Amino acid sequence: EKGEYRHYMLKEIFEQPVALQRTLEGRLGSVADLDGLFSENADLLHKVRNIQIIACGTSYHAGMIARYWLEALAGVPCQVEVASEFRYRSHVVPEGTLFVTISQSGETADTLAALRATSSPNYVGRLAVCNVDSSSLVRESELVLLTRAGPEIGVASTKAFTTQLAALMMLVLALGRVRGLEQARIQTVLDEMRQLPGLIQQVLQLDGDIEKLAEDFVEKHHTLFLGRGTQYPVAMEGALKLKEISYIHAEAYPAGELKHGPLALVDKDMPVVAVAPNDELLEKLKSNLQEVRARGGELYIFADRDAALQNEDGVTVLNMPPVPECLIPIVYTVPLQLLSYHVAVMRGTDVDQPRNLAKSVTVE
């Protein structure tokens, strides 16, 4: 039930602290708890030399973020592809590949078909990161990591995405553990993960400010989302949310690609949303943002309050709490969910059931 909330989507956005708490519960006490993640198949992780992630839509964005983490923390090569492409092309399967599907519903036709086609002996196992434990995807995979987000009714995926990321981080740490990532580093990340529900709670308090900011987008026809590193997939997720429920055309670019084409689109009618945590890419991002400003583009920046970005003419800064690096993509997704929600409400669209879309895409 929606209870006090006007839409399921809003309820599900606000449920994220609790959903994340559930996803992490019993799994993060200590480094040793990571062994329990795949108790029946614990030794399988030792055989993993490569990861292939397959998913669609929002779940694909979670996979893209996991790739940054897997290569940086666990040192495992990783490829990520949308299921509808992967299943119809011939591809090489490196030896020792773990096949990972990510899906809220566990019934997405293309993702399931890709799983069912994994016949190569080079696969060491199939892991489903999924929110529905009775789903086909879970039944047909030998390893399962449930996201425990609870039922997601709104077509736009919100709490499923952030819990997928939390579950994927646990996979990264479990793999890192068998591949020599230092215990102390793992412990630090585990401790930081425990701050996640509280941090999301803080960001949810920005709802009123984000609603105000949303007014600027209502009459627009296009929006550009920019991010670097793990914030690039976060920008893609922000753009997907906006087009899906508000029907405003939105695109996401890695900020470094601006000069290679999209900068030509920037003018006063093209708002640019940037995700600017206080990470090692901040300085580079700032110079990309100046390029946008110089072309008259209106900037909306979700920035770490320590990043010293100021509101000025044409630049609106929304201050975010400082966030440990590994949690950045999870935390910065939330304001983008709220932004698209409020824009859609103001435009009067059917937020929970956008036109032409189904919650679960069970046919091709």
- The DSSP string of 303-335 is EEGGG----BTTEEEEEE----GGGHHHHHHHH
Rg for the chain, CA atoms, rounded? 20
Helix (H, G, I), strand (E, B) or coil at 145: strand
Provide the minimum distance between the beta carbon of 100 and ligand M6R in the complex, in angstroms, as a whole number: 13
How remote is the C-alpha of 237 from its chain's centroid? 6
**CB of 234 vs ligand M6R, minimal distance in Å:** 14
Nearer to ligand M6R, 54 or 320 (CB): 54
| Catalytic annotation present for 359 | yes
Residue whose beta carbon is closest to ligand M6R: 57
Instruction: Name the catalytic one among 2, 47, 220, 359.
Output: 359
Q: Do 127 and 170 form a contact (C-beta atoms < 8 A)? A: no
Residue 255 Cβ vs ligand M6R, minimum distance, rounded to whole Å: 23
If the CB atoms of residues 50 and 58 are measured against ligand M6R, the closer one turns out to be: 58
Q: Phi-psi bin for 271: left (phi > 0), alpha (psi -120 to 50), beta?
A: beta
Q: Let me know: does 158 contact 53? Beta carbons within 8 Å.
A: no
Closer by beta carbon to ligand M6R, 157 or else 278: 157
Least distance from ligand M6R to the Cβ atom of residue 157, Å: 4
Cβ-based nearer residue to ligand M6R, 74 or 130:
130
Q: Which residues pair with 272 in a beta bridge?
A: 224, 299
What's the token pair of residue 193? 């993960």
Q: How far is the CB of 106 from ligand M6R (least distance, A)?
A: 7
Nearer to ligand M6R, 103 or 163 (CB): 103
Our CB check for ligand M6R shows the closer of 181 and 343 to be 343
Q: Residue 298 burial (CB < 10 Å; 0-12/13-18/19+)?
A: buried
Beta bridge partners of 50: 97
Pair 256, 283: CB distance under 8 Å:
no
| Angstrom distance (rounded) from CA 37 to CA 176 | 13
Beta bridge partners of 319: 303
Among candidate residues 80, 3, 361, 43, the one with its CA nearest the CA of residue 174: 43
User: Residues interacting with ligand M6R, by CB under 6 A?
Assistant: 56-59, 103-105, 108, 111, 155-157, 240, 244, 360-361
Nearest distance in Å: CB 109, ligand M6R: 9
Residue 250 in tokens: 């939105």
Smallest CA-to-CA distance from 1 within 11, 273, 247 is with 11
- Write down the least CB distance from residue 101 to ligand M6R, Å: 8
What are the angstrom distances between the C-alpha of 14 and each of 40, 166, 344, 350, 351?
A: 34, 16, 17, 19, 15
How far apart are CB 165 and ligand M6R at their closest, in Å?
13
Measure the CA–CA gap between 154 and 17, rounded to whole angstroms. Answer: 17
CB atoms within 10 A of CB 88: 11
CB nearer to ligand M6R: pick between 157 and 230: 157
- Between residues 236 and 258, which has the closer beta carbon with respect to ligand M6R? 236
Q: CB of 131 within 8 A of CB of 167? A: no
**Catalytic site positions:** 359
